[in-house]
Amino acid sequence: MADLNRAGRAFARDLIAGDNIDRDSAWSFTADDGNTLLGDAGSDWANYGKHHLGIDTTENFDTKDHWKYPFAKDGKIYRSALVAIRQRSSSQKDKVVYDAAGALLDEIDGDTDSSQADAGKGPNAGGGVITVANRPPRIEVQPRSDLASSAPASPDCFSRWNPGIRAATADEPNVIEMFDVIGYDFWSGGGITAESVSSQLKSFSGQPVEVQINSPGGDMFEGIAIYNLLNQYPGKVTVKVMALAASAASVIAMAGDDVQIGQGAFIMIHNCWVMAIGNRNDMREVADYLEPFDQALCDIYVARTSMKANDVATYMDDETFIGAQQAIDEGFADTLLSQEKIKEDKKAAASSKSKIAALHIEAALVRRGHVPAAQARSMIVNAAGAGADGTPAVREIEKILTRNDGEHEGMSRGTFRALIRDLKSGTPAAAANQSDVMPGADVGSKPGAGQAELLTAIAAFRQVAKS
């Protein structure tokens, strides 16, 4: 079976929008036609691929067997090619290709207002032809309440994250801004949650929606829930990666019918990450539990891209940052977002320094120092000097984060001290109310389970911020 080639569909819509259409000629696609698309060097697979509407993910990207259902040549899309694709894909039971070819025929024949489609937008530009069937599937695996989720994100994400990067134009209709961590943010009481996204989507009543992302990620389970909400939304979903869509945020980005990425922006993918405590049998159970999550995420990335599952899995194992052009070439995104549509809010960036430092240190303590989240937060509050000398806590954290453990190279002392300076430059407004403790976190971070001292310290921390 063939999957939909989103880059091919985007190119087809570009040709239609430019009226580069052969409505009458019979269609043929010979070996010579294919070789022409490959260029003089015979290796321009990106150009060859975009002239095809389907892909076979079991075959290598740089082989003709990978690309199915050609529809264009000589700079024109052939109506007769789309008719042939409908006939062949029906017999092959390639439903997504069948639906896509039908939608393109509708645009050519005027059943859809293709003049609304912006050239260079993405595979689903020109709303009204998008169907849920054309999207990657829902992620059906469910989180377990007895495990801490994948929050916090990778420490590397925080070193790359500038929260001041956002859309140049504000107050556009039907926009969901994701300029924060995914899931509840312990340090600010904010964060991007499935509940808030669901509420916004309901208010849009099926109209096209734009999701603007600049996020280091966070709670993978929350990200999956948001992905599923967008996946089921009946209207067109345009995703704009302004600067960073990492971890859980990268999963959300894959729900876009049209994914645009800013120059200099990154998408980062990795395996699901939890924190668990137990014996070898417990750990084996957790590993077995995580495997379908990783497979589900891999399936989503494969469905969105032109990559093989093994290659995507390697990216996930390596916690890979994918730059803008690479993301477009490999299908994680469709087009480049023009620079004039992006700005830096320097005030927002400066005001977030302390919060980012707290998140960065917490992530490093939890993921590389194997410190429980509740303990890590308590250490950070003490290091910030909430009503007391924070030097002992700073030294304790420094000892953990700067050591080399064989698995990870320790953080340099210069980097660590810069983080402490940022932490002390302001105070992340940690939620002092017990009801605001991160929902769904590990048992040790809930009130009544060793949390009282932390809540007292946070209350003192906030009092210092006010004085």
Could you tell me the residue ranges of all domains in the chain?
3-134, 155-346, 352-466
Distance CA 94, CA 72 (A): 19
Q: What's the mean per-residue pLDDT of the chain?
A: 80
Nearest of 256, 251, 261 to residue 237 by alpha carbon: 256
Distance CA 344, CA 90 (A): 48
Distance CA 354, CA 428 (A): 6
Nearest of 221, 219, 229 to residue 255 by alpha carbon: 229
Q: Count of residues for the chain? A: 467
What global pTM score does this model have?
Answer: 0.62
Per-residue pLDDT of 12-50, as tens digits, reads: 999 999 999 999 888 999 999 999 999 999 999 999 999
Distance CA 351, CA 427 (A): 10
Distance CA 79, CA 85 (A): 10
Q: What is the mean pLDDT of residues 197-205?
A: 95
Distance CA 256, CA 128 (A): 15
Q: What is the mean pLDDT of residues 113-135?
A: 38
Tell me the three state secondary structure of residue 70: strand
Distance CA 285, CA 278 (A): 10
pLDDT of residue 323: 95
Distance CA 343, CA 356 (A): 20
CATH class name, domain 155-346: alpha beta
Nearest of 437, 426, 418 to residue 378 by alpha carbon: 437
Residue 447's pLDDT band, with cuts at 50, 70 and 90, is very low
Structure tokens at 133: 């069937």
β pairing state of 76-78 and 165-167: unpaired
Inform me whether the pLDDT recorded for 115 exceeds 60: no
Per-residue pLDDT of 365-405, as tens digits, reads: 988 778 888 889 999 988 887 544 568 889 999 999 998 87
Q: What is the mean pLDDT of residues 340-363?
A: 90
Q: At what angle do helices 373-383 and 391-401 cross, to 10 degrees?
A: 130
pLDDT of residue 106: 86
For residue 307, give Cα distances in angstroms to 56, 61, 202, 270: 10, 7, 34, 15
Distance CA 377, CA 111 (A): 57
Structure tokens at 83: 């008719």
Residue 455's pLDDT band, with cuts at 50, 70 and 90, is very low
Per-residue pLDDT of 168-193, as tens digits, reads: 887 678 999 999 999 988 888 889 99
CA torsion through residues 197, 199, 200, 205, sign: positive
pLDDT of residue 275: 57
Distance CA 63, CA 94 (A): 20
CA torsion through residues 378, 379, 385, 390, sign: positive
Structure tokens at 48: 């060859």
CA torsion through residues 102, 137, 224, 11, sign: negative
Q: What is the mean pLDDT of residues 85-107?
A: 87
